[in-house]
Structure 1
Amino acid sequence: MTFGRRLLVLLVAAVVLVAAGAWAVWRAAGAQDGRRGVVGDGPGTVLGRVGLGPEADGPRLVFRSMTWGDRRDLLGAVPLDRPGATRTVSAPDCLRFHAAAGTGICLRAVHGPVEDTYRAVVLDRDLRELRHYDLAGIPTRDRVSPSGHLVAWTVFLSGDSYAGTAFSTRTSILDTRTWTLRENLEDFAVTLDGRPYRAADTNIWGVTFADDSRFYATLATAGRTYLVAGDLDRRTLTTVHGNVECPSLSPDGTRIAYKKRVAGLSADDPWRLYVLDLRTMAETATAEQRGVDDQALWLDDRTLAYALPGDSGSDLWTVPADGTGRATLLVAAALSPAVVN
């Protein structure tokens, strides 16, 4: 090869390397801008504004977007009546999310040089941070009351699964009007089967709000779980029904959707999705035959949404609450949804 040809090859290689480096820098910058809602990549998504206020096109489903790429973990939104539409995504990134009445709660990871820590971030209707609180463990559940005045979250202090018994949780409730934080619902007085009860192994998780003083949650002790009715003002928890986990109160306040442990199922996947009538205490099994390890969401008074494992980590599915019909895919690559009106 002549000297001139060698020089030409070197120049071409140098140009290619410079172009590749510039592309990498541009892409990294784009990813960072994407976290601010400017640019990014990912299938079936477009970056834009996701808010918690009313929109002209009607109610929306807002969720943690699980699409692979730079947009993973950002908040995504689709029209509730067109869940298959291209999603709009924007910051912040959340591991768990819920919203109501213009208030949002985002449980997120804070990436450090040695290990991650976790934070609960209260958001306004434009997804701007109002306040944040450091968390003592791994985020697992969160809810906002219908008024937007109360926010609840649960973290794992030890363990990372509800399937066994080797875990410990902490559940907190925050009043966004006064910023009063009740850090641990285990401090509340418990009445179990009509009698005062206290035990070192008590765990409470999965709050669902009825209003700004009444709520439901799961209480676990001595190897059993219970649905408890909570009173925030009186600081009390009273058992209502057995074998209930991760309750979700229907919009009309008459039923609880929940995970029920069913005999004969795998210890790693022991639950099926049920609905409890709070007046009659009658249980109805939904048509979903797969194991559901999630706190279901009521899309309306008739329909439940919940997460199941998928190719991107999680997909959202839906099923009628009355035991009829069948389970259908709602939104692929999504987790932790909320209906925003």
Structure 2
Amino acid sequence: MNARTRWIVLTVATLVLAASATAYLVFATDRAVRTEAAAALPKGEMTLSGEGLLTLDGRGTLTRQAGGSRTTLDRTCARFHAAVSTAVCMITDMGARTRYYATVLDGSLRETRRVEVPGVPSRARVSPSGNMVSWTVFVSGDSYLSSGLSTRTGILDTRTGRTVPSLEEFALYRDGRRDTSPDHNYWGVTFTGDDDHFYVTVSTKGEFYLARGSYAARRVDTVRRGVECPSLSPDQTRVAYKKRTGDASSPWRVHVLDLASGRDTALAEDHSVDDQVAWLDDGAVMYARLAGERSDVWTVPADGTGTPRKLLEDAFSPVSLGRTK
């Protein structure tokens, strides 16, 4: 399959969180194979220092765009994120039995830790300090879902090595009351700057919420309905997210929520964006957008003005070095 097919399968799985097991296996296999040819790029320096734009290309190869040139780095990931001197690279090991891992990399992109995860990589985030790492994967076999497909989100403290395999271990408070139903699904963590609190999407009883969690307290509290795949701004005052439109032909719209005032702004991107948006800087977001046989990374102002602008072709999972949150 080509890059376009991969992104369609991921979109369907994320949209309903209840896609068939067949779609799940197609996505997993296709992401791992990556058979498409890509233009040869010069080798770049294996480092997270300096500024630039890190992305994955259509084969999952890590690349760096800086000073008008794009170089390739010796890493292949299904999903990638980085901050300061820490990166997370989600990988698929197609051995005798397919395994999935969250690999933690240092500032020279050397692997320092590997955590096996229970399904196909979907999202990944590193905290602003580089101390905390999170991932979301698709898993099958949860009996309370008719399709058997759901998500699993974990967090690792790189300082202690302590891993929370699933946020479902945390206590959920929905509208101020403890919710003990067995159907909780979490995805799309974004960290604050204190290495404790984070925002995440949680679904339960058919509703989707923006929630705020505490790693230390092992508690998650819902904040607002209808917010998915949050991404906290560098100044930590706003959350960019994808919002359901109700239109099957264009199901997602990128919005920005002001956390203090509750003001919600639809951004000028009118294409459907099924991605965990990243911040280019305090004034603009960036995201992957399907383009025929590939995906490209685009940016748009975060205040609802302006027009979308293409940053990089054949790219996804963008990270803005030096400004990442």
With the length of structure 2 as denominator, give the TM-score of the two structures. 0.83
Do the aligned residues in 2 keep the contact of 1:45 with 1:86 (CA within 8 Å)? no
Counterpart for residue 151 of structure 2: 169
Counterpart for residue 138 of structure 2: 156
Counterpart for residue 47 of structure 1: 43
Counterpart for residue 303 of structure 2: 322
**DSSP-derived class of the 1:228 partner:** strand
In structure 2, the CA distance between the partners of 1:165 and 1:301, relative to structure 1 (3 Å rule), is: farther
Instruction: Indicate yes or no: 2:203 matched with 1:220.
Output: yes
Q: Distance in 2 between matches of 1:292 and 1:104?
A: 24
With the length of structure 1 as denominator, give the TM-score of the two structures. 0.79
**DSSP-derived class of the 1:179 partner:** coil
- Counterpart mapping for 1:4-153 below 5 A: 42-43=38-39, 45-54=41-50, 59-66=51-58, 72-79=59-66, 85-113=68-96, 116-153=98-135
* Deviation by residue 1:184-207 (Cα, 9 ceiling, x = unmatched): 101111111111112111100100
Aligned residues: 281
Do the aligned residues in 1 keep the contact of 2:44 with 2:64 (CA within 8 Å)? no
Q: What is the Cα deviation at residue 112 of structure 1? A: 1.8
Backbone CA RMSD of aligned residues? 1.8
Q: Distance in 1 between matches of 2:128 and 2:309?
A: 27
**DSSP-derived class of the 1:186 partner:** helix
Q: What is the Cα deviation at residue 44 of structure 1? A: 6.4
In structure 2, the CA distance between the partners of 1:126 and 1:312, relative to structure 1 (3 Å rule), is: farther
AA at the equivalent of 1:75: L
Q: Distance in 1 between matches of 2:44 and 2:279?
A: 26
Do the aligned residues in 2 keep the contact of 1:308 with 1:314 (CA within 8 Å)? yes
Larger-Rg structure: 1
Q: Distance in 2 between matches of 1:48 and 1:187?
A: 41
Q: Distance in 2 between matches of 1:165 and 1:150?
A: 32
Q: Distance in 1 between matches of 2:250 and 2:78?
A: 22
> Whose relative contact order is higher, 1 or 2, with alpha carbons under 8 Å and at least 6 apart?
2
Structure 2 stretches lacking a partner, 5+ long: 1-36
**DSSP-derived class of the 2:42 partner:** strand
In structure 2, the CA distance between the partners of 1:197 and 1:278, relative to structure 1 (3 Å rule), is: same
Counterpart for residue 178 of structure 1: 160
Q: Distance in 2 between matches of 1:42 and 1:245?
A: 32
Q: Distance in 2 between matches of 1:97 and 1:219?
A: 22
Counterpart for residue 233 of structure 2: 250
* Deviation by residue 1:83-104 (Cα, 9 ceiling, x = unmatched): xx33111211001000001100
Structure 1 stretches lacking a partner, 5+ long: 1-40, 67-71
Counterpart for residue 215 of structure 2: 232
Q: Distance in 1 between matches of 2:60 and 2:196?
A: 32
**DSSP-derived class of the 2:168 partner:** helix
Identity, % of aligned positions = 46
Counterpart for residue 19 of structure 1: none
**DSSP-derived class of the 1:50 partner:** coil
Aligned pair partner of 1:203 in 178, 185, 208: 185
**DSSP-derived class of the 1:47 partner:** coil
Q: Distance in 2 between matches of 1:190 and 1:200?
A: 11
Q: Distance in 2 between matches of 1:316 and 1:166?
A: 32
Q: What is the Cα deviation at residue 313 of structure 1? A: 2.6
Q: Distance in 2 between matches of 1:117 and 1:237?
A: 29
